[in-house]
Chains A and B, each alone.
Chain A
Amino acid sequence: MIALRLRSLQLQLTLRLGLLFLAATALAVGALLYQTYRTAESLSEENLIERAQILARFVFERPDGDYDLDLPAEIAAFYAAPAESSLFAIRDRHGEVIAASSPAFAAHVKARPSSEDEPRFFRLESFGPESSDYYGLDLAVESVAGPLSVSVAQSGETDALLHAMLREFVFDVAWIIPVFVAATLLVAVLTIRAGLKPLRQASEQAAKVAPGATSVRLSVGGLPSEIIPLVEAVNHAFDRLEQGFTIQRRFTADAAHELRTPLTIITGALDALEGNGELSKLRDDVARMNRLVEQLLRVARLDSIALDVSTDIDLAAVASEAVEYLAPLAISQERSIALNGADRRVSIKGNRHAVEDALRNLIENAIAHTPPNTEILVEVMEDGKVSVADHGTGVRAEDREHLFDRFWRARGAPGAGAGLGLAIVKETMKAHGGRVVVDDAPGGGARFTLRFQG
C-alpha cells in the first residue's frame, strides 16, 4: 500500500521538493546565524575597545607617580552595578593595577600578561558574584598618563544581542520561508494535477475498449509531451488487437461457410436416398452434426464478438417470434406450445437476435424433454423476465450447478445434444447483464427463466 502510494507522482514530487526546501532552509538559516554571530562579535569587540579607551581617558598621573581614576558619575554607576555585568581593570606600564571595578577582577587581571599592541580577547567562565560567563579584552592604550593596559569584560552580552537580532530576523524574514515552501509545493501539485488531467480522460477512453468496441482510440490532445509516446504506443497496440479481432471474426464466418456447405451436401444427398433403417440413423447423425456445428459457431461468435446489447427491444415480440418459429417443430412432434403475457410490450435493452437464439435454445430443450401431448408454456413477465416451462422430469438439484457449463450433459441424458445450448444461453445472459435460472415448474417439469435488467 505504501509502496503503491509512493508511486504517485504528486506525492513523490511533494516529498522530494519538501526535503529540498528543508535542506535549503537549514543552509540559509545556518549561514545567517553564522553571519549574525560574526557581526555580533565584531560589534561587541568594537564596543569593548571603545569602553577601554573611554576608561583610559579618565586616568591621570599624580606628581608622586601614582595614578588617579576620576570617572564621571554615570560611568562609575555603570560599573558599580551589583550584578557586576561589566568589569574593568587598568594596569600601568609596570603591570601594577591602578584601578578595578572589583578586587576579584583586579586579582584576575594582575595574573595576566600586559597587553601588547593588538587587543587580546579572553573568556571568563563562572566568574563574579553571579558566576556568569564573561568575555573581554586587554587593550594597550596611550593615555595622558602614559601607556596603560586596560582590561574590560562584559557578561553574556553576546547572547542577548544575538537573541535580539535573531528575534528580529524570525519576525521580519524567516516567516516567509515556510509560506514560500508551501506555495511552491502547491504550485507543483497543481501543475502535476493539471498535467495529468488529460491522462485521466485517456484512461476513461481506454475503459471503453471492449471486444465489440475495438475502434476506440485514446486522444493525444492536451497530454503532456512526455506521456504522448506511451499513449501512441497504446493506440498502436489497440490497432494490432483490432486487427486480431477482425481476423477472428472473419475466421468464424469463413469456418461457418466451409463447414456448412459440405453439411448441406450430405444432408441433401441423404434426403434424396431411398433407404432402410440404417439410412434414417445416418440422417439423425448428420442432423446432430448440423446442430453441433451450429452451436459451436454460435459459441465462437459469442466469444469473439461482444454483443451490442444497447438496443431497446420488445421482449414480448421476441418471445412471439421464437414461439412462432418453433411451433411447427413442436406440433410435428406432437407437443403443443403456448405463449402468455405477450399482449403488451415489455421493453428491455438487449440484442434481439441473441435473445431470440437463447429463447429458442430453451424452447428446443423443452420440446425434447416434455412428454408427447403436453404443453410447453412460454411466459413473458412485465418486469423483464421470460420463462419456458415443460412437463418433463425436471432438473435434479445436483445438476443445476453444472447445467450451464460447456459440453456438460446430464448422466444418461437422452437425445443428441452436445451440451452447448445452455452454455450459449448463459453467455448471452451474461452479455446482457442478466441471468438464467432454473427451477421446478408448477405442476412438475423444468422451468428456465431469463431475467433481464429492468
Chain B
Amino acid sequence: MRVLIVEDEQRIIDILTAALRKAEFTVDAVNTSADGSVALAAIPYDAVVLDLGLPDGDGLEVIAKARQGASAVPILVLTARDAVEDRVRGLDCGADDYLVKPFATAELVARVKALLRRPGGALGVVLKAGNVTLDTVGRSATVSEQHVLLTRRELTVLEHLMRRLGRVVPRAVLEEKLYGLDEEVDSNAIPVHVHHLRRKLMDSGAAVEIHTVRGIGYMLAEPKS
C-alpha cells in the first residue's frame, strides 16, 4: 500500500510517516501542492493525505487536478481551519474524508484504512477486523482462520460494519443495502440479522463486538489493545 502525504510542516510529515510505516504502508511525502500534483500524476498511489494550507496555494487544487485526470484515489484532507465552508468545500471538491487538526495519529491511520476498505479501495477485497476476515469477492468470513457459516444477508451486514470499523452504520443504510427499493422491510428484519450474526460471531470466538446504538444503528468495535 502506497500513501502520499502532501504537507508543508516537516514535523507532521515525520510523525505521519512513522505512524503509517508502522501500519505497513509505503509512504512518500512532498511539501507543496505543485509537487503533490506531479507525484500523483506519476505514481498510482493507493491513498493521499492532503493538508489544505500549503505554501504555494490551496490544497484543493491538488484534488481538482487529480479528479480531472479521472483519478479515483481516496483523498483524506487535513485542515486546521474547521470553518464549515472549508469542510464543505473540501468534500465538494472531491475529497473523501477530512480530519481537523489536531488529531490523534491513530485516528488518521484508522481513517486511511477505512478509505482503503471502501468498495473499489485497495483493501476492498479482504476486510480485517480483529481476528475476523471477510472476503468481499468470495463472499465468505473466517474467525481465527476458521470458516463461519453466515447467510447472504448476515454477510452483507458484517461487510458494511467492517468497512466502517469503529464507526456507526445507520440502520437505514443497512436496510438500503439489504433490500431492494420495492421490497417491504419488516422493522425487525435488521435487528434479527444482527442478533444472529452476533450469536454466530460469539460462538466462533470472534474478538470483535457489535454494539447497538439505539435509535441509530450498529457499530463494530475491535477489542481494546
Judge whether A331 and B219 touch: CB under 8 Å: yes
Q: Which residues of A contact B9 (CB under 8 A)?
A: 261, 264-265
Once A268-B15, A320-B216, A327-B216 are accepted as A-B contacts, the answer to whether A256 and B80 lie under 8 Å apart by CB is: yes
Segment at the B interface, from A30-38, A53-61, A146-154, A332-340: A332-340
**From residue A375, how far is it (CB to closest CB) to chain B in Å?**
8
Interface centre among B18, B19, B82, B106 (most CB of A within 10 A): B82
**From residue A417, how far is it (CB to closest CB) to chain B in Å?**
18
Judge whether A338 and B12 touch: CB under 8 Å: no
Judge whether A267 and B221 touch: CB under 8 Å: no
Q: B88-107 CB contact bits vs A (8 Å, 1 = yes)?
A: 00000000000011111110
**From residue B221, how far is it (CB to closest CB) to chain A in Å?**
6
A323 proximal to B (CB < 8 A): yes
Q: B38-79 CB contact bits vs A (8 Å, 1 = yes)?
A: 000000000000000100000000000000000000000000
B124 proximal to A (CB < 8 A): no
Q: Which residues of B contact A266 (CB under 8 A)?
A: 102
Q: B1-23 CB contact bits vs A (8 Å, 1 = yes)?
A: 00000000101100110110000
Query: 8 A-B Cβ contacts within 8 A?
Result: A261-B101, A263-B102, A264-B102, A267-B102, A272-B15, A324-B216, A327-B219, A340-B214
Judge whether B15 and A290 touch: CB under 8 Å: no
Judge whether B15 and A265 touch: CB under 8 Å: yes
Q: Which residues of A contact B80 (CB under 8 A)?
A: 256-257, 260-261, 264
Name A's interface SS.
Answer: helix
B138 proximal to A (CB < 8 A): no
In the bound complex, what is the Cα–Cα distance between A41 and B155 (angstroms)? 128
Q: Which residues of B contact A336 (CB under 8 A)?
A: 211-214
In the bound complex, what is the Cα–Cα distance between A266 and B84 (angstroms)? 25
In the bound complex, what is the Cα–Cα distance between A271 and B110 (angstroms)? 14
Q: Which residues of A contact B11 (CB under 8 A)?
A: 265, 268-269
In the bound complex, what is the Cα–Cα distance between A327 and B215 (angstroms)? 11
Q: Tally A residues with Cβ within 8 Å of B.
A: 32
Judge whether A256 and B19 touch: CB under 8 Å: no
Judge whether A332 and B221 touch: CB under 8 Å: yes
A353 proximal to B (CB < 8 A): yes
Using a CB–CB cutoff of 8 Å, the interface residues on chain A facing chain B are 253, 256-257, 260-261, 263-269, 271-272, 290, 293, 320, 323-324, 327-328, 331-332, 336-340, 342, 353, 375, 378
In the bound complex, what is the Cα–Cα distance between A267 and B100 (angstroms)? 13
Add 19 more A-B contacts to A263-B101, A271-B106 (CB < 8 A).
A261-B9, A261-B80, A264-B9, A264-B102, A264-B103, A266-B102, A268-B104, A268-B105, A271-B15, A271-B19, A271-B105, A290-B102, A320-B215, A327-B211, A336-B212, A338-B214, A338-B215, A339-B215, A340-B215
Interface centre among B101, B104, B170, B215 (most CB of A within 10 A): B215
**From residue A154, how far is it (CB to closest CB) to chain B in Å?**
102
Judge whether A267 and B216 touch: CB under 8 Å: no
Judge whether A331 and B211 touch: CB under 8 Å: yes
Judge whether A265 and B211 touch: CB under 8 Å: no
B177 proximal to A (CB < 8 A): no
Judge whether B81 and A324 touch: CB under 8 Å: no
Judge whether B15 and A253 touch: CB under 8 Å: no
Q: Which residues of B contact A338 (CB under 8 A)?
A: 213-215
Once A256-B80, A264-B103 are accepted as A-B contacts, the answer to whether A269 and B15 lie under 8 Å apart by CB is: yes
Judge whether A256 and B81 touch: CB under 8 Å: yes
In the bound complex, what is the Cα–Cα distance between A323 and B84 (angstroms)? 19
Judge whether A272 and B19 touch: CB under 8 Å: yes
Judge whether B12 and A327 touch: CB under 8 Å: no
B181 proximal to A (CB < 8 A): no
Judge whether B105 and A339 touch: CB under 8 Å: no
Judge whether B81 and A353 touch: CB under 8 Å: no
Once A256-B80, A257-B80 are accepted as A-B contacts, the answer to whether A271 and B104 lie under 8 Å apart by CB is: yes
In the bound complex, what is the Cα–Cα distance between A323 and B211 (angstroms)? 14
Once A265-B9, A265-B12 are accepted as A-B contacts, the answer to whether A324 and B217 lie under 8 Å apart by CB is: yes
B166 proximal to A (CB < 8 A): yes
Q: Which residue of A has the minimal Cβ distance to B81?
A: A253
Once A264-B103, A265-B9, A272-B105 are accepted as A-B contacts, the answer to whether A327 and B16 lie under 8 Å apart by CB is: no
